[in-house]
Amino acid sequence: MAKPAIITVDDDPQVLDAVQRDLRARYAADYRIVAAPSGPQALEALRSLKQRGDEVALIVADQRMPEMTGTEFLLAAAPVYPSARTVLLTAYADTDAAIQAINEVGLDHYLLKPWSPPEDRLYPVVDDLLADWQANTEAPFDGIRVLGTTWSPATHDAKDFLARNQIPYRFLDIERDADAAAVIAAAGDAPLPLVLFADGTSLSSPDRRTLAARVGLHTEAAASFYDLIVVGAGPAGLASGLYGASEGLRTVVIERDATGGQAGTSSRIENYLGFPKGIAGSDLARRAAIQAQRLGAEIITAGEVVAVRVEDQVKFVALGDGTELSGRAVVLATGMTTRTLDVPGYADYLGAGVYYGAAVTEATTYRDQPVFVIGGANSAGQGAMMLSRFCSQVTLVVRGPSLEEKMSTYLIEQIRHTPNIEVLVDTKVAGVTGAGKRMEKILLDRSGISAGRPAAAVFIFVGAVPHTDMVKGLIELNPQGFILTGPDIPGELWSLERDPFLMETSVPGIFAAGDVRHGVVRRVASAVGQGSVCVSFVHQYLATV
């Protein structure tokens, strides 16, 4: 198969030659560099590549071209290669054009000319865009196959784990695919899901740790003792791991599910500084994890921390598989767990029509069907926007009187301008019903009047509870289970003469960062800031022991 192409178009021969030269110098081994002197000629090249079945990873277009501006060309190119990443070459005076391209084309990046030296101003941009393209583009498939049914909770869990860890796979529904059903029968009706690998091996109904190890994720610690143990790999935990490792601490980050935490499940984060187009939570998590590992942090996936204890000044972290790590300091960045609801029918269809969280994995499953999103905060709004791209109708069910109470303005405006999203305020869910294993209807309560509506699936975003079970009885929590830190710790519960550091818990040397802390602003940027600042307090603590 031919190498993916990078297309560059510019009417200025000198600029076109410079772009070709710099791109070929770095990317020729893995990509074809295709150049065109005008927008129409570049479109002809794109259509030719499409007819041959070739991939285009990146398009670099100059804005100021006489026959067709860069923005006009990218608008015309988008239907041909919608997944290609895009760069607009602009002059300093073209900022408005770049913003227009972001809004109209979904431009990924605009690059001011000149970009010399390319090592500083061109290659880092292109490296990121190509990595994003590779992570989000379905390649010719010869990898993992998940055989199961749409209505199997265990199948959903396996698909969700692979998707959240950005492991490519293909799902085959044995109720619709005769060949897949034959494979299951030949396997002796093995418990679902059956996960098939390219080398011919398989796993039947694997737990997350087994599946993680089999797909190449890091599931075991390289050492038994660390300077810093970070529990949780959401934005706060990844930031702590990154800064801890970069500042010379032997650091391990332990995550039970997938890097990114709740933020990693967001279909698009629009208000994170430095990403004018917004960024998918999974992509932000992937970049952060790679950065932390590059700087020396060790990340363990599918590691369930079940208990934390202290002996003298050494901290011990026990994992669900029976192993135990020890360290000089611990940062708890465990975040929050989606709150479950006690509503009739929810438990019966959990993972088979009822889902907690975004469940990007299941979006295409309910293509052209009506679904309901429960919740009124940003996570619910982002989930509704994502589902609206696939489902015939998305109904957002909000207990409160308006979206303005908890949702960001930019997201409210997007929802209002999306024709297949309906918003119901002052509404509660009374239950879900179905026939057998298939959920069919949701019961809504408005002003004391209950009514049923057809529903293929329900996605629940009704708040969260802090994930602190592993430290109950060890450190001080507030009545809701959030961790008390710094000045919030009652004086009689603090054992040292010095005051606790700002993010230190009631146990010296154990710190907390992110959503799990009491009284913090729960935003991705806030969590990243806390995770990075927390490491400075870790250093101060280590200097005293």
Q: Tens place of pLDDT for every residue, the chain, 545 residues?
A: 578 999 999 999 999 999 999 999 999 999 999 999 999 999 999 988 887 778 999 999 998 898 899 999 999 999 889 889 999 988 766 778 778 878 888 889 888 888 888 898 899 999 999 998 988 776 555 689 999 988 888 998 999 899 888 888 889 999 888 888 888 887 777 789 999 998 888 999 999 999 999 999 999 999 999 999 999 999 999 999 999 999 999 999 999 988 988 888 777 788 889 888 888 888 999 999 999 999 999 999 999 999 999 999 999 999 999 999 999 999 999 998 877 778 888 888 888 889 887 666 778 888 899 999 999 988 899 899 989 989 999 999 999 999 998 899 999 999 999 999 999 999 999 999 988 778 899 999 987 788 899 999 999 988 778 999 999 999 999 999 999 999 999 999 999 999 999 999 999 999 999 999 999 998 899 999 999 999 999 999 999 98
pLDDT digits (tens, 9 = 90+) for 298-316: 999 999 999 999 999 999 9
pTM, two decimal places: 0.79
Distance separating alpha carbons of residues 500 and 502, to the nearest angstrom: 6
- CB-count exposure of residue 475 (10 Å: 0-12, 13-18, 19+): buried
CATH fold match for the domains 225-337+465-542 and 347-462: yes
Strands 438-446 and 449-454, bridge-based pairing: antiparallel
Query: Of 429, 457, 459, nearest to 353 (Cα)?
Result: 457
Pick the CATH number of 5-136 from 3.40.630.10, 3.40.50.970, 3.40.50.10210, 3.40.50.2300: 3.40.50.2300
Beta bridge partners of 9: 36, 61
Contact in structure between 195 and 145 (CB atoms under 8 Å) = yes
Distance separating alpha carbons of residues 71 and 149, to the nearest angstrom: 44
Distances (CA, A) of 266 to 381, 384, 385, 405, 416: 10, 11, 10, 20, 19
H/E run at residue 501: none
Distance separating alpha carbons of residues 335 and 498, to the nearest angstrom: 28
- Cross-sheet strand order for the sheet of 370-374: 354-356, 457-460, 370-374, 393-397, 421-424
Fold of 144-207: Glutaredoxin (3.40.30)
Domain spans in the chain, listed from the N-terminal domain onward: 5-136, 144-207, 225-337+465-542, 347-462
Pick the CATH number of 347-462 from 3.30.565.10, 3.40.190.10, 3.50.50.60, 3.30.2270.10: 3.50.50.60
Distance separating alpha carbons of residues 32 and 39, to the nearest angstrom: 19
Per-residue DSSP letters for 291-311? HHHHTT-EEEES--EEEEEEE
pLDDT at 179: 81
Distance separating alpha carbons of residues 79 and 129, to the nearest angstrom: 19
pLDDT at 492: 93
We find that the CATH architecture of domain 225-337+465-542 is 3-Layer(bba) Sandwich (3.50)
- Token pair belonging to 285: 């998590």
pLDDT digits (tens, 9 = 90+) for 486-530: 999 999 999 999 999 999 999 999 999 999 999 999 889 999 999
H/E run at residue 114: none
Contact in structure between 373 and 402 (CB atoms under 8 Å) = no
Contact in structure between 540 and 362 (CB atoms under 8 Å) = no
Per-residue DSSP letters for 40-103? HHHHHHHHHHHHTT--EEEEEEES--SSS-HHHHHHHHTTTSTTSEEEEEE-GGGHHHHHHHHH
pLDDT at 1: 56
Q: Can you say how many angstroms the Cα of residue 354 is from the centroid of all Cα atoms in its chain?
A: 20
Contact in structure between 149 and 436 (CB atoms under 8 Å) = no
- CB-count exposure of residue 526 (10 Å: 0-12, 13-18, 19+): middle
Per-residue DSSP letters for 513-525? -GGGBTT---SHH
> Which one-letter DSSP state was computed for residue 399?
S
Distances (CA, A) of 38 to 11, 60, 329: 5, 12, 59
Contact in structure between 489 and 497 (CB atoms under 8 Å) = no
